[in-house]
Amino acid sequence: MREWQEDVDAIVNAVNGVVTVVKAAVIVDTNVVVAGFPTEGSALPVARILRGMQEAAFPFVVSEPLLAEYRDVLAPAVAPAVAPAAPDPGDQMLWELLAARADLVLVTGDKRLLRDRGMRGRVISVEAFLAAA
């Protein structure tokens, strides 16, 4: 049994004195996400939960306000990447993600992004992605 399953199985529901284990979708508070970041490779419970979220290993839900809180709290901990200007200012966030890690590749159908020479080899078409998979 995977480590995260033990944590999810530990969610207990007591009704009329009968205890049953429930596999429920969970809401992961921002403090758990933040605590799990610097310990990502470890066996600490918060790291296991964060890893489970990343792997979609258990059902969890988020809302736009919760995602905004994750962003607001984590943003100061993440150094801003220096990215060249995207061909379309509305796509700058994608260029910043690409600049943040050399191992990332953008899959897109946007011809302007595909033609950009600054990110050549890091921006691929949907067809190229599927052919490589």
pTM: 0.44
Q: Give pLDDT tens digits for 22-64.
A: 466 788 888 888 887 776 567 788 888 888 888 888 888 888 8
In 3D, which of 8, 13, 16 has the Cα closest to residue 60? 8
Handedness of CA 62, 63, 67, 69 (dihedral sign): negative
In 3D, which of 9, 30, 29, 33 has the Cα closest to residue 19? 9
Handedness of CA 92, 97, 98, 99 (dihedral sign): positive
